[in-house]
Structure 1
Amino acid sequence: MNPISTALLSFGMSGKLFHGPFVHTHPGFRLSAVWERSRNEAAAAYPGIRTYRTLEEVLADDDIELVIVNTPNYTHYDYCRQALLAGKHVIVEKPFVTKSEEGAELISLAEEKGLHLSVYQNRRWDSDFRTVQRVLREGLVGNVVEAAIHFDRFKTTLSPKPHKEEANGGAGILFDLGPHIIDAALQLFGLPEALFADVRYLRPGTAVDDQFEILLYYPGLRVRLHSGYFVREPLPSFQLYGDKGTFLKARADVQERDLQEGRLPTDAGWGLEPAGAEGLLVLDNDGVAAPQSVPAEAGDYTEYFNGIYRSLRESARLPVTAAEGLAVVRIVEAAFRSSTEGCRVPLAWS
């Protein structure tokens, strides 16, 4: 393999868990540099990595081919733009940007420069999402007429991280957890015709949204998306209702937990859910419920990086395109508009 020299633009949680371990263990990548303003945590974890104190130093490093923009949401547009202008390929954390016109500009810039620009929608490689994909692909519940996707937490106090609680245009649950389940809906069911949304501000003293519900309209299908910080006992994260039966699946992917505990994606049994987390399929058998367990697919974020490698070295399609990331941002924008105006918002995709 011809390793892709890669730089991280931060070494917080996403750098430590969702990028560093995968870039470091993948033979197609070399974790070469990091931007840390004052600390040296990456160097302690990965001896030999180059630590830079400014973004300009990172982008001036001619060895770097790929920059991972894993910084606060409101910085994504600016840092992506600077990286592309410096001739670097870019992976950007979700959300792609906070304004759709900025996303369109970055897509045009990447095309103009002949560079790859991808959004890190890693939850496509969660065990639960991959299991839902298989259930739909195999038609186990028949024709789906209704579906629901949840990403809920119980976290009723404000975050100590200022960038998560300031009304900076990229904070709030709709821009934080929303892209995960919006992207899931778009991957499972395609682009909707319209939406209706209710966005709420529930925690005492909050300046940013902390609960939302979005109803996506498709021909013959409605998909409900929900995320909130007041859900102590969550409903199944994926719910499919069809003319043959129902499928329910909890959010049980183990990768984040295992990464927090120091496991690596090269460890044996990576991404396998524990016993008891199987999905529940309930079919109708002449009016009698016929429940059965559906084993979960293995989760593996390594597949995203496999796709990035094939794209940069073999000209394959990106595992997540910037256009797909832009569609998510447009849904977020339409949801805010719908909630503010109290109306159904049509969506035009051409």
Structure 2
Amino acid sequence: MASAPAPGSVIRVGLLGYGLSGSRFHGPLVAAEPAFTLAAVASRRTDVVARDWPGVRTGTVDSLLADPDLQVLVVCTPNDSHASLAEQALRAGKHVVVEKPFTLDADEALRLDALAQERGLCLTVFHNRRWDGDFLTVRQLLSQGRLGTLYSLESHFDRFRPQVKVRWKEQDVPGGGSLWDLGAHLVDQAVQLFGLPESVVADLGRQRPGAQGTDWFHLVLRYGALRVLLHSGSVVHSPWPRFVLQGDRDAYVKHGLDAQEGQLEAGLRPGHPDFGSEPAAQHGRLLVSGETVPTAPGDYGQFYRQLAAAILHGAPVPVTAVSASQTVQVLQAALQSDAEGRRITLPSL
């Protein structure tokens, strides 16, 4: 078991990996939550860690796994290592945060959930875009019935990045490509809104010269009469709206990505009055009524806030392993659909 923090003390956190997710998201968000302290990082980039976090020690994965003073380990390594490192961390008695995607296989995700429950440990997955302001706004509109009966939701994550970069995310390796990277966000949001779809149809592409991994995808998720379209392209000069929802009473259109990633990169942190907010010019619109819909404040800080409550007080973890496994199940179905050129029907978990 993880050593319990003494009353009034902070929870000591170690990061396994220090790439983009560790440096841009987990480090700053852990540091912004008073219940936690960033104590150690497993990375060969010792100079970068020292620059970003003076006084935070660096080590190896094995040394952090064996450290009795660390209560939480955050797995922010390449996708194909998530499952094995999460299992090692749980067996070492640590509470575990896993960067999305949780695993590359839904059954493996459920096995990890069972292990965490057996050990009495918290296991959660960093699906941070559940706290995007635009997504929170969509949830609110649907819960209020503002659009009437919903018939379609279109969700885009487009970029203009015509040059292929030499990095694992863009290689043809297990867990590589934009479907596992950006698609994990879009699928997770759809599953949060509507649950597991009845079926999935997917078209995956490699469009850019030299592309090895998927850099274009289009998914259609079927929920009875409702269709959910999830799309991403890497050579998009003028991005499509982030969200388009069509109901029999009204429609909602929202442009622009959530501001929090850019704010974190610029040094803004949760707790700052501007964190998670966006300019009024970027607010979405209802097309029939003509009403501008203010975007709800985004709040990635909720993730570690809720994790602290789970560890200290037994509250629910921010993202359950079961819900994250459903996202993996849909991603697996999308890969199968593209490979076999057919619609894949999903069984319920």
TM-score range, shorter chain: over 0.9
Q: Give the whole-Å Cα distance in 1 for the aligned partners of 2:186 and 2:103.
A: 16
Task: Show CA shifts across 1:66-92 (max 9, x none).
Answer: 101111111111211111111111101
8 Å Cα contact 2:242/2:257 also seen in 1: no
Task: Show CA shifts across 1:190-238 (max 9, x none).
Answer: 2211111111121222221111111111122111111111221111111
The answer as to 2:67 corresponding to 1:68 is: no
8 Å Cα contact 1:128/1:250 also seen in 2: no
The aligned residue for residue 291 of structure 1 is: 290
Q: What does 1:1-350 correspond to in 2, within 5 Å?
A: 1-52=8-59, 54-161=60-167, 163-283=168-288, 290-350=289-349
Task: Show CA shifts across 1:325-344 (max 9, x none).
Answer: 11111111111111111111
Q: Give the whole-Å Cα distance in 1 for the aligned partners of 2:123 and 2:326.
A: 15
CA separation of 1:184/1:33 partners in 2, compared to 1, >3 Å: closer, same or farther? same
Q: Give the whole-Å Cα distance in 1 for the aligned partners of 2:341 and 2:118.
A: 39
Deviation at 1:2, TM superposition (A): 4.2
8 Å Cα contact 1:40/1:51 also seen in 2: no
Deviation at 1:26, TM superposition (A): 1.0
Runs of 4+ in 1 over 4 A off after TM superposition: none
Q: Give the whole-Å Cα distance in 2 for the aligned partners of 1:178 and 1:119.
A: 15
Q: Give the whole-Å Cα distance in 1 for the aligned partners of 2:127 and 2:259.
A: 17
Number of residue pairs the alignment of both structures matches: 342
Q: Give the whole-Å Cα distance in 1 for the aligned partners of 2:344 and 2:32.
A: 44
**Structure 2 residue runs without a partner (length 5+):** 1-7
8 Å Cα contact 1:252/1:277 also seen in 2: no
SS at match of 2:130: helix
Range that drifts further, 104-113 or 150-159: 104-113
RMSD: 1.4
**Structure 1 residue runs without a partner (length 5+):** 284-289
SS at match of 2:217: strand
Range that drifts further, 174-183 or 274-283: 274-283
Deviation at 1:165, TM superposition (A): 2.8
Deviation at 1:38, TM superposition (A): 4.7
Deviation at 1:275, TM superposition (A): 2.3
8 Å Cα contact 2:245/2:251 also seen in 1: yes
Task: Show CA shifts across 1:22-74 (max 9, x none).
Answer: 1112111111111122523223322321211x111001110111101111111
Task: Show CA shifts across 1:286-323 (max 9, x none).
Answer: xxxx3110001111100111111111111111111111
